Amino acid sequence: MMALLKRDLAIATRSGGAAMLGVLFFLAVVAVIPFGIGPDLNLLARIGPAILWIGALLASLLGLDRLFQADREDGSLDLLLMQDWLALVATVFVKCLAHWLATGLPLVLAAPLLGLLMNMSALSTGAVMLTLLAGTPAISFIGAVGAAIAVALPRGGLLVSILILPLAIPVLIFGVSASYAAVTDPDPFWPPFMILSAIALFFAALGPVAAAAALKGASD
């Protein structure tokens, strides 16, 4: 499993991999917002958490269509599918973890810089980082299901995004709600944050199982 994790991280972080593309896409999405909104710093600070979350959600989708595609192209997917059920589920979990480490974690680390572009306070930026840290893993686990369904389809990248986005909406809602609650006194921070964490744990348990089942079905 450690060898698989290192292999997937190496693929994602090499030149042209999803890691750098995700950060650059995140930067591009957030950087163009001030040009469209205008120089209203108060407005930028108010909508900043939502913009950062939307940018992170879209950037996390990059590379998901390649989660199993590279294994299918070099034939290693057939070897993975020859494992017993629990080993296959564990393999999918490790591949999802590698995708998050290469794509999701850099977005969390880039959030403070992009928070400056949106004139966000340190507290607001910290809240966004914490919610992204808790919520972005769910996107990788949700995406594994879509990637497994589309693995046998040519040009399945768009299909993966269409399948994932509706399921990722609750992650976006509670991530943004918790980010705003951290800087709005009457609103409690912990209830939406705990729900966000529960969603991430739920998909961490369900996503690899569903993706493994989809891979088995596609191979049949």
**CA quadruple 150, 151, 154, 157: dihedral positive or negative?**
positive
Question: Mean pLDDT across the stretch 74-97?
Answer: 90
Reported as a pLDDT band with limits 50, 70 and 90, residue 16 is: low
Tokens for 178, please give them: 């918790």
Tokens 């490790």, located at residue: 94
Give the per-residue pLDDT at 149: 87
pLDDT of 156 strictly over 70: no
The alpha-carbon radius of gyration of the chain (Å, integer) is 18
pLDDT of 15 strictly over 80: no
- Tell me the three state secondary structure of residue 14: coil
Task: Please count the other Cβ atoms lying within 10 Å of the Cβ belonging to residue 93.
Answer: 20
pLDDT, greater one: 186 or 18: 186
pLDDT, greater one: 14 or 84: 84
Q: Helix 85-99 to helix 2-13 angle, to the nearest 10 degrees?
A: 30
Reported as a pLDDT band with limits 50, 70 and 90, residue 76 is: confident
Question: Mean pLDDT across the stretch 127-137?
Answer: 96
Tokens for 203, please give them: 């998909």
What is the C-alpha to C-alpha distance for residues 38 and 29, in angstroms, rounded to an integer? 15
Give the per-residue pLDDT at 184: 85
pLDDT of 42 strictly over 80: yes
What average pLDDT does the structure give for the chain?
88
Tokens for 102, please give them: 């290469």
Give the per-residue pLDDT at 122: 93
Q: Please, which residues have CB within 8 angstroms of residue 194's CB and are 6 or more apart in sequence?
A: none
pTM above 0.85, yes or no: yes
Give the per-residue pLDDT at 8: 83
What is the C-alpha to C-alpha distance for residues 67 and 160, in angstroms, rounded to an integer? 11
Reported as a pLDDT band with limits 50, 70 and 90, residue 65 is: confident
What is the C-alpha to C-alpha distance for residues 140 and 67, in angstroms, rounded to an integer? 10
Reported as a pLDDT band with limits 50, 70 and 90, residue 121 is: very high
Question: Mean pLDDT across the stretch 71-90?
Answer: 87
Q: Please, which residues have CB within 8 angstroms of residue 63's CB and are 6 or more apart in sequence?
A: 12, 17, 18, 21, 22, 99, 102, 103
Reported as a pLDDT band with limits 50, 70 and 90, residue 144 is: very high
Task: Please count the other Cβ atoms lying within 10 Å of the Cβ belonging to residue 40.
Answer: 12
Rounded percentage of the chain residues whose pLDDT exceeds 90: 54
Give the per-residue pLDDT at 154: 65
What is the C-alpha to C-alpha distance for residues 159 and 10, in angstroms, rounded to an integer? 26
For residues 159, 163, 101, 33, the Cα torsion angle rounded to the nearest 10 degrees is: 90
Reported as a pLDDT band with limits 50, 70 and 90, residue 27 is: very high
What is the C-alpha to C-alpha distance for residues 130 and 3, in angstroms, rounded to an integer? 29
Q: Report yes or no: 211 and 144 within 8 Å, Cβ to Cβ.
A: yes
